[in-house]
Amino acid sequence: MQRFVRAKLHGLRVTGADLNYHGSITIDAELCRAAGLEPLEFVEIWNKMSGARLSTYVLYGDPGSRCCILNGAAARTCQIGDEVIIASSEWGLFEDVAAISPKVLTFRDGNEIDERIVYRVFRNAAGEHDMAIETDAGAPLAVRDLVG
């Protein structure tokens, strides 16, 4: 068994931090559903601004609110406006990740979805593990387009 990325929100901006709340991270339910994040699912959070990394669980926020609120101890790791990467993972075999085609959402100001990306994993003609990064419309993206 290996651990694979299952869903990712890339560049979501923190809209709040509530040290005294009992939850963990509250994310707009529409954004969660679009990426495939489930309520109470554990996720990794990486702060692009500070380098902080943490693990916590997802609470669904108000649909359409575009919220990303760090709660409890997690509130100490981010400032409002910081860009974060939120990724969920799944344990399985290569065939399992190939079957789920992980979804990635990128964001622009206001936490509006900029791009919808799909990681396609497959065996190439030689039988080797391979992948393609595509927009949800099927258009291929070069890896350099994602890391620039």
What radius of gyration, in Å, describes the C-alpha atoms of the chain?
16
74 in a labelled binding site: yes
How distant is the alpha carbon of residue 60 from its chain centre?
14
72 in a labelled binding site: yes
- How big is the chain, counted in residues? 148
Distant-in-sequence contacts of 123-126, Cβ < 8 A, 24+ apart: 123/98
Q: Give the pairing type, strands 129-135 and 112-123.
A: antiparallel
56 in a labelled binding site: yes
73 in a labelled binding site: yes
Catalytic residues: 24, 57
Residue ranges at the known binding site for substrate: 56, 72-74
